[in-house]
Structure 1
Amino acid sequence: MELRQYAALSAVEMARLVRQGEVSPVELVQSSLNAIEETEARVNAYSAVFAEDAKARAVTLEQEARAKSFRGSLHGVPVGIKDLFLVDGYKTQRGSKLYIDSVATETAPSVERLLAAGAVMIGKTTTPELGWKAASNSPLYGVTRNPWDVSKTAGGSSSGSAVAVADGTVPLTLGSDGGGSMRVPASFCGIFSLKPTLARVPTYPLSPTEHLSHAGPMTNGVEDYALALDVVQGPDARDPQSLPPAGLSYHETLGELPKLRCVLAPTLFGAAVDSGIAAVITKAFGEISAHLPVEIVDTKLDWPDPIDIFDALWVARGALYAGLKPEDVARIDQGFARMVARSASIRLEDHFRTLQARAAFNRSVAEAFETFDLLVMPMVPIEPFAAEADGPPDMDMDKPVPWARWTPFSYPFNITGQPAASVPCGWSPSGLPVGLQVIGRRFADEKVLQFCAAWEKHFAWRQRTPSVYAGS
């Protein structure tokens, strides 16, 4: 199989071809490894590649396929796993020199489910240290680069997961999102991802900010995402928040778009949006109004910016590392070290007041969503910045969570736990992808997916590929 042919295949198509006997898992895995060999030196998407293990698993899956025995809906499909997820017997280094030799002794629920469905883990993907920021560099892995322009950041913290999908090495990865960590890199890299309703996909080990942290797939298209969400969603005893089964197949609900009430918001909280990004969003809004069967609702969103809530919750996680020795502090990301130091000033009563403020904000947003189904808005108000940087040149490093200042549209919906997707909607004047954020009510993940699937039919973003792309 030619690499460009492989890179163009969706996970759904790969699984179908395996079932029909037209492609073997061995061929898919070898193509994935060849694609990594061709692209990896330029983008650094993988923290580790497990070539021999993947090929051995592919042989077993091919034998099963020949016998018409299929483990599940992803039989033979190569996938990447963000290196914050545990996989028994493999290192989980978390982008940190503190965990450089940490070998997992169990497997995270979502990874278990992907493997049980027949997926093949090709490798682990990069993340900034402990997933703490929205840029794409770490002390351990170095810099992960945007495949559209390798001088630019891929976004974070699911950096490698976004790049591995965008550059065509795998059609599906796992990511996590505590303040934009799936949606920001999806937007910057021109792929699709949905942060599902909080606890729709169980997480383990629990994040220090479990009331913010979501997990889910990252893909090139909505259909692949829905297929994977069907696999990974549902309760697990290791995650006390995990939701019961959704009671539907997200993949099967993709079809005709129901009449949804949509608010089209060019910004939120008065945040400035770069003119090039704003122009793309304005054009997308016009296309939505003209071509999608939705009702546009004109309403004023007057929620207060919950940045203080997010600051306090995000910084509090640093308290778990307050006992680090000075020599360890010197080895970690210095932005993370500043957060750890700042966490010492948070009192217990302050934390509980923050949780009360979170509940009040969540109520105001939930009540607003009683009058509409979806909020559609920009995903990130700026273009990707330098790959080596933690943010744009004007980022205020004195703020408690500096990166949250350039991602003002992502963290509010981690606070509320709502489903929120980033879907490509165009390219900036400099040729970089622009993401549209689509937010739904809690538990209404299927409506977000239905809208995004309808948009994908209208706006076929995969017809344009990055400069770093398998087979190019």
Structure 2
Amino acid sequence: MKTDQKQLHMPTVIEAAAGIRDGRMTPLHVVEASLSSIKAHNSTLNAFGDVYADTALEQARTLTEESEAGLYRGPLHGIPFGIKDLFSTAGLRTTKGSLTGLDNVPVQDAPIIRRLKEAGAIILGKTATTEFGWTGASTSRVFGNGRNPWNPQLTSGGSSSGSAIAVAARMVPASLGSDGGGSVRIPGAFCGAFALKGSLGRIPTWPWSATEMLSHAGPITRTVRDSALLFDILSGPDPLDHQALPAPTESYLARCDQPLRALRIGYCPTLFETPVDPVIASAVEAAVQNMARALPVKVTTLTLDWQDPLSTFETLWVGGRGVAYGKALVNQMDLLDPGFADLIKRSAEYDLPGYLSAVQQRAAFANQVHALFDDFDLLLMPTLPILPFSADGVAPEGYVGQDGAVPWARWTPFTYPFNITGNPAASMPCGFSPSGLPIGLQVVGPRFADAEVLQFCAAFEALAPWDQHLPRLLTQ
């Protein structure tokens, strides 16, 4: 089948799956569309590092022949994905965003990669990440600083920077990311994509991480239903992850099509008295009012007396990553991002009693959060209190706390708390700033209520869809 250039648009995952099944498109069409978009925009946005164009085209031709013969390897047959360069990919370089890892080629796939392949997906390339995923900004010595498709002068957020850029810029139908303090939700919010951090252990992670009690794996997509389909495929236990949860007892995608039951919604305009940009506050407030009018929900505005668990998060993050990576990289410190090198140096200030105290504080904070869901079904708040800042920065200019060991945590006070607690938390677009930047609304559910979070987000998406909006650079 000859490729029609008019067909070289980027479908969503569900559109691609349906189109390949009914013959309206082929895996070759979708891969060609991805490579065309990468060629046009990657040099500006720095979404991808390694791109496997020849291999992907060869696989696409084979999968096209199979689909035309009525043979399908799985629900993702022939659909190309971007893979965050923290995930181990057998035979494919995994730099982890570090100059110290330029020659690192794993021999084994991570469970999430194996499941993606088994479902018929094509790995198109590795997407940019900050060094070892250490920061919520999008700076990178390996890939070049990630740039926001809505304004390339600004950050995309991180650490799953390239994965969010690739989805928002229509380079791939979807991508994989990871989240240890907000790393799918931060770039999701800044780039106008949907990103769910499932309950801790929902999607298995491997290799082992020194911050395993904070770290989640998951997709970044354009729509809620795409994410639900991928959670159906990627969830479930794996012997490589001792924290992995049992297999889901229902389809997340099917749940998105069920009528929404009456829900008790707690709405927090802010947490920890953090100032929120008025533009963000206004957009989130308008979205919540829209929900209250159109959905079967009772919204209660909350002012929570929780104490900011920043010191707990910082101890777990710095103590875990700093000690683990510091031992391995002691002779390569000059190759590291200065911020990450500083984190390693500061890890020497932490001791075992302090670390164990943070573990205890984590449990106490989690108890508070879990208790809230006795009275509420879901919790809503802005994903972030700020709009994107310079792509070359790690924090907004003049933002308090830039001299800390984890400077990015100072401007992400609404994301990392739910890594501490392990709750499912999604960021979905809810509006735009006057300058055209996306704004994210965060939806947090009780532990294990991933299906309810997805169902609610799908109901809001039907009420106020966002995928029809395109960054200006894609329309020029």
* TM tier, smaller: over 0.9
Q: State the 1:22 CA deviation.
A: 2.0
Amino acid across the alignment from 2:280: I
For residue 336 of structure 1, the aligned residue among 328, 333, 340 is 340
Q: Which residue of 1 aligns with 2:352?
A: 348
Q: Could you tell me how far 1:429 is from its partner in structure 2? A: 2.1
1:290 to partner: Cα distance: 1.1
**Which range moved further: 128-137 or 321-330?**
321-330
Contact 1:154–1:384, Cα closer than 8 Å, also in 2: yes
Partner of residue 302 from structure 1, selected from 300, 305, 310: 305
Question: Aligned-pair distance for 1:468?
Answer: 2.8
Q: Tell me, in whole angstroms, the C-alpha distance in 2 between the residues paired with 1:422 and 1:288.
A: 16
| Structure 2 residue 90 is the aligned partner of structure 1 residue 85 | no
Q: Which amino acid aligns with 1:423?
A: M
Match of 2:46 among 41, 44, 47: 44
AA aligned opposite 2:69: A
One-letter code aligned to 1:392 = P
- What CA RMSD, in Å, does the superposition of the two structures yield over aligned residues? 1.4
Quote the residue 1:382 is aligned against. Answer: 386
Higher normalized contact order (CA 8 Å, seq sep 6+, divided by chain length): 1
Which amino acid is 1:346 matched to? Y
Q: What is the CA–CA distance in structure 2 between the aligned matches of 1:172 and 1:431, rounded to whole Å?
A: 23
1: CA distance, partners of 2:459 / 2:289 = 15
For residues 404 and 3 of structure 1, what CA distance do their matches in structure 2 show?
44
Structure 1 residues 116, 41: closer, same or farther in 2, change over 3 A? same
Correspondence 1:204-219 to 2 at 5 A: 204-219=206-221
Q: TM-score, normalised by structure 2?
A: 0.96
User: Aligned runs of 1:453-472 on 2, under 5 Å?
Assistant: 453-469=458-474, 472=476
The answer to whether the 8 Å contact 2:268/2:301 transfers is no
Give the alignment's TM-score, normalised by structure 1.
Answer: 0.97
Alignment-derived partner of residue 70 in structure 1: 72
Structure 1 segments, 4+ long, off by >4 Å, are: 1-6, 324-327
AA aligned opposite 2:60: A
Q: Deviations over 1:445-464 (max 9, x none)?
A: 01110111011111111221
Q: Distance in 2 between matches of 1:228 and 1:6?
A: 23
Query: What is residue 24 of structure 2 aligned with on the other side?
Result: 22
Q: Alpha-carbon deviation of 1:324?
A: 5.8
Q: Tell me what 1:264 maps to.
A: 267
Corresponding residue SS for 2:211: coil
Amino acid at match of 1:404: A
Q: Where does 1:159-308 land on structure 2 (aligned, <5 Å)?
A: 159-255=161-257, 256-308=259-311
Task: Quickly say closer, same or farther: Cα 1:19–1:324, change in 2 above 3 A.
Answer: closer
Q: In the superposition, relative to structure 1, how do residues 454 and 8 fare at CA in structure 2: closer, same or farther (>3 Å)?
A: farther
Cα 1:243–1:4, aligned 2, differ >3 Å: closer, same or farther? farther
User: Counterpart of 2:124 in 1: which secondary structure?
Assistant: strand
Cα pair 1:3 1:35 within 8 Å, conserved: no
Paired position in structure 2 for 1:126: 128
Task: Indicate the residue corresponding to 1:433 in structure 2.
Answer: 438
SS in 2 for 1:323: helix
Distance 1:51 1:401, change over 3 A: same
CA distance in 1, matches of 2:30, 2:95: 27
Conserved 8 A contact 2:268-2:302: no
2:30·2:80 contact (CA, 8 Å) conserved in 1?
yes
Count residues in correspondence.
471
Deviations 1:164-197 (CA, angstroms, capped at 9, x unpaired) = 0000111110000000000000000001010000
Q: List gaps (5 residues or longer) in structure 1.
A: none
Q: Please state whether the residue corresponding to 2:335 is helix, strand or coil.
A: coil
Q: Distance in 2 between matches of 1:331 and 1:416?
A: 34
- Any conservation in 2 of the 1:297–1:372 contact (CA below 8 Å)? no
Instruction: Decide whether the 8 Å contact of 1:49 with 1:122 is kept in 2.
Output: yes
Q: Which runs of 5+ in 2 are unaligned?
A: none
Q: Is the 8 A contact 2:155 2:391 kept in 1?
A: yes
> Aligned partner of 1:77: which letter?
I
1:131-146 equivalent positions in 2, closer than 5 A: 131-146=133-148
Farther off after superposition, 318-327 or 284-293: 318-327
Q: Which string of whole-angstrom CA distances, capped at 9 and with x for unpartnered residues, describes residues 187-226 of structure 1?
A: 0000101000011000011222000001101000001111
CA distance 1:97–1:449, shift in 2 (3 Å): same
Using the alignment, how far apart are the partners of 1:214 and 1:146 within structure 2?
23
- CA separation of 1:229 and 1:324: change in aligned 2, threshold 3 A: closer
Aligned counterpart, 1:414:
419
